[in-house]
Structure 1
Amino acid sequence: MTGYEDGVPGYLTFRVIPQEGPVAAFAEQEAWQARELYPDLNGLALAEFFYAKELDSGGWALSKHLSDAPQGARDSLGHHFRMRAARARDEGDERAHAEWTAAALRMDREVIDEVRVRGERFRIVRASRFLRTGPDGPEPPRPSDPDPAEAGEAHTLPSRIEGHVIDPRLGTGLADGLLRLDLLRFLGAVPGAPAGLREDALDAAERCPGGVLLPAVFMISERVDGRWQAFHPGASDDTPQGARDGLTTWLRVMAPFTLVMTDEDRAAYARAADLLDEQRCDDLVVDGRWFRVSRVERLVRLGPDGPEGPRPHDFDPDPPVAVQNERSADGGRWRAGDDGDGDDEDDEDLPNPVVEQQVRELQVLWEQELARRAAARERRADRRRGARGRTGPAEG
């Protein structure tokens, strides 16, 4: 048989290898089942953005900092440059300190999606997001998806994406290989999205015809008027428990703060949050609202020069931080009710009793939630201590 692999560009490589070990085999089986149970792929309007560093060995290593807009990733890269500058200063390398500091200051002022500093190449990387759906709605987490955190503690886990290498030469299972093909062919636009998004997608398919999958993330979907939609479109978590924790925080803190609720309503939402903590379920109905923890697939497109960066029509509302500060200084402090016509020069920054009351209310709700989490941690610790005592060696 003739081999053609030597003539295929690296960014178009699909390397399928057997998945060894019982866990990997189980995950592969689940991936095949998902293709049957949730056959439809739906693009999410908001992509995710990281900064990545090109590796001498090939591929690009992702940072753990993600954002739903390119500028958030640029800000994270600027912060990384500041940390490198501080390290160089501590090591007495003044030249390195000056170069890293200059790079950080440049990120503060310019919209930059690729930069090289001291021989290291960095890029803002775009990851498209997709939901699998079937007759019963979006795909929930799979049993093989890592989910080690206790309720309320998902934020303490290390990032699953930090240091993840984007390299099409790395092996994948057959199911994931087919998923890559499916997602690379996906050019659909979200209903109601700006027209430019489809043109961006067509252009990306031509410039970056290859791609790699990132580990799945998880979000909350809500069924509204007979259709499923993202509850917080830009939010996602490394684990199913992270998504549950976000929903319980909303039920206990933000819902009472933002919605008009009776005491009975608040109690019902709190009970629903308790149920979600206790049962770690993926579907929850409260006050007629149906929520689901949903599994999100992610794809980074690749071209001859590496991973895809931001697209022209991606959501990116904020300018670099130095530009924001200059605009704020030029225009004065923005206040609620300011129509931006510049005729409010005589207004004084007087305390607003309504705003102050709202801030206090939110602070009380959040402090109650933190106290509840601390008490839950202590109860779990007591149970673990009791279990160790019961299983310890018997005294003679």
Structure 2
Amino acid sequence: MWGMPHEDEALRQGLRELTTTDPVRALVAQDARRARREYPLTVLAGPMFGVAEELGADWRVITLGEATPQCSRDDLAGHLRMEARAAAEPEPYLAAARVLDWERHDELAVAGRRFRIIRVEQLLRLNLDGEPEPPRPTDPDPRTPPVPRYEVLAAPRHEMQDPPGREDPAEAEAAELAVRFAEAVDLPGTDGELVRADALRAELSHPVPVPMIPVFSVAEYLHDGWRSATAACPTPQRAREALAEYLQQVAPVVERVDERTRSAYDEAAGRLLAGRLDELAVCGRRFRIVRVEKAARFGEDGPEPPRPSDFDPDPPVEVLALRLRAEGIIED
């Protein structure tokens, strides 16, 4: 009973938005409010890294999804070589790519263009029972893979706030994420001192989280909770397909299952795809398609680059090649 007035007001606000604003925008806003209510806990799932190019105040994301900054530096070198093919003067692009082959750089200016390796936080929403949030009804979920497109990171613009009384879903989400990030930094005992110090510095240097397009993954429930089982996918359907591929092709080989289990896995994969399910139980195992939120932190100079404490074990490709030759692992 204590929650009824809040629920009634949320309903009235949603109805007002449906009749006075873009209906799609209103539904997305309602979905976001519901998610914040039903999945009030957030946990950081670790960063991903990518390449972005400055476009005025905004930044165009060229690649995203790498586990380490060096992988994204290698991606940038490849992108610069592709740009060289279409450029009237290719040498600046090729020269910059050669630099990245030997040196670590998280920002480069090439032919009047500015590129940066960016750090993007991944977050999972949980309910009070520790269950991760599945895809939302308003999340795009096409059966066929979407056409790849660039995502644009819009820099925060305070002068473009909506009129009072009208919630902008992105602004509401950014405000909540700022609070969640601060709470995550204050959790004791989860990270080393260097990681914590870097996170505290990021709150000052890049204080504004900018929500990005979510991705989707497969999680499996183990004895101590949910664990990610696949890489990030652009749509819930692609995550379902990844789980089906695992059940039909990977698990039978890796686990060396008997014919009965193999048949059960194959049947479950069929049910998963035919029913476009977001949760699946098979042979005592439980899987769920989960929604993974992304957010880039912005400061006055743009999106946050990698932090010193980020996992980044590999050297540039030519340095690695020299090391492997010296160790006799590869030959010229």
> Does the alignment reach a TM-score above 0.5?
yes
Match in the other structure for 2:50: 50
Equivalent positions of 1:117-132 (< 5 A) are 117-132=110-125
Structural mapping, 1:1-80, within 5 Å: 20-44=21-45, 46-56=46-56, 58-80=57-79
Give the letter aligned to residue 110 of structure 1. Answer: E
Give the conservation status (yes or no) of the 8 Å contact 1:100–1:117: yes
Which letter does structure 1 place at the counterpart of 2:212? L
Aligned-partner residue type, residue 221 of structure 2: R
The answer as to 2:243 corresponding to 1:247 is: yes
Matched, 1:106 2:99: yes
Amino acid at match of 1:67: E
Instruction: Report what 1:231 is aligned to.
Output: 229
2:11 aligns with none
Q: Which among 127, 130, 152 is matched to residue 164 of structure 1?
A: 152
How far does residue 192 in structure 1 lie from its aligned partner after superposition?
A: 5.0
Distance 1:29 1:53, change over 3 A: same
Shift of 1:143: 0.9
Deviation at 1:159, TM superposition (A): 2.7
Partner SS state of residue 159, structure 1: coil
Q: Letter of the 2:148 partner, please give it.
A: S
Once the two structures are superposed, the pairs formed by residues 341-380 of structure 1 within 5 Å of their partners are none
Instruction: Give TM-score, length-normalised by structure 1.
Output: 0.71
The offset of 1:226, in angstroms, is: 4.4
2:127 to 112, 134, 142: 134
Distance, in Å, in 2 between the alignment partners of 1:332 and 1:59 is 46
CA distance in 2, matches of 1:171, 1:110: 42
Which residue does 1:145 correspond to in 2? 139
Amino acid at match of 1:48: M
Q: Tell me, yes or no, if structure 1 residue 329 matches structure 2 residue 322.
A: no
For the structure 1 residues 163 and 43, does the alpha-carbon distance in structure 2 shift closer, same or farther, using more than 3 Å as the test? closer
**Structure number with higher strand proportion:** 2
8 Å contact kept, 2:63–2:75: no
Question: Partners in 2 of 1:38 and 1:319 — Cα distance?
Answer: 40
SS in structure 2 opposite 1:222?
A: strand
Identical pairs, percent: 38
Indicate the SS of the match to 1:149: coil
Task: Report the 3-state secondary structure (helix = DSSP H, G, I; strand = E; otherwise coil) of the residue aligned with 2:315.
Answer: coil
Corresponding residue of 2:5:
none
Cα shift at 1:256: 1.7
Contact 1:65 1:76 in 2 (8 A): no
Structure 2: which 5+ residue stretches go unaligned?
Answer: 1-16
- Contact kept, 8 Å, 1:31 with 1:176, in 2: the verdict is no
Aligned to 2:174: 180
Q: Hey, what's the Cα distance between the residues in 2 that align with 1:325 and 1:250?
A: 33
Q: Which amino acid aligns with 2:54?
A: E
Count of residue pairs brought into register by the alignment: 301
Output the amino acid matched with 2:101. Answer: D
Cα offsets for 1:151-192 (capped at 9, x unmatched): xxx3xx2235x1423321376853432321222232426875
| Amino acid paired to 1:167 | A
Aligned to 1:318: 314
Question: Normalising by the residue count of structure 2, what TM-score does the alignment of the two structures yield?
Answer: 0.85
What letter matches 1:289 in structure 2?
A: R
Q: Which secondary structure state, in structure 1, belongs to the residue aligned with residue 108 of structure 2?
A: strand
AA partner of residue 175 (structure 2): L
- Partner amino acid for 1:79? G
2:40 and 2:128 in contact (8 A); partners too: no
**Counterpart-to-counterpart distance in 2, 1:22 and 1:291:** 33
Aligned to 2:208: 210
Task: Provide the aligned C-alpha RMSD in A.
Answer: 2.1
Choose which of 282, 293, 304 in structure 1 pairs with 2:278.
Answer: 282
Rounded to whole Å, the distance in 2 between the matches of 1:275 and 1:221 is: 18
**How far off its partner does 1:330 sit?**
1.5
Considering only CA atoms, is the larger Rg found in Structure 1 or Structure 2? 1
Using the TM superposition, name which of 182-191 and 128-137 deviates more: 182-191
1:369 corresponding residue in structure 2: none
In 1: Cα distance, 2:194 partner to 2:303 partner: 21
CA distance in 1 between counterparts of 2:291 and 2:328 reads 44
**CA distance, structure 2, for counterparts of residue 196 and residue 270 of structure 1:** 46
Asked if the contact 2:102/2:316 (under 8 Å) is kept, the reply is yes
The answer as to whether partners of 1:85 and 1:101 remain within 8 angstroms in 2 is yes
Cα displacement string for residues 100-129 of structure 1 (whole angstroms, at most 9, x for unaligned residues):
110011111111100101111110111101
CA distance, structure 2, for counterparts of residue 301 and residue 307 of structure 1: 6
Match of 1:308 among 293, 304, 311: 304
Name the CA distance, whole Å, in 2 between partners of 1:222 and 1:171: 40
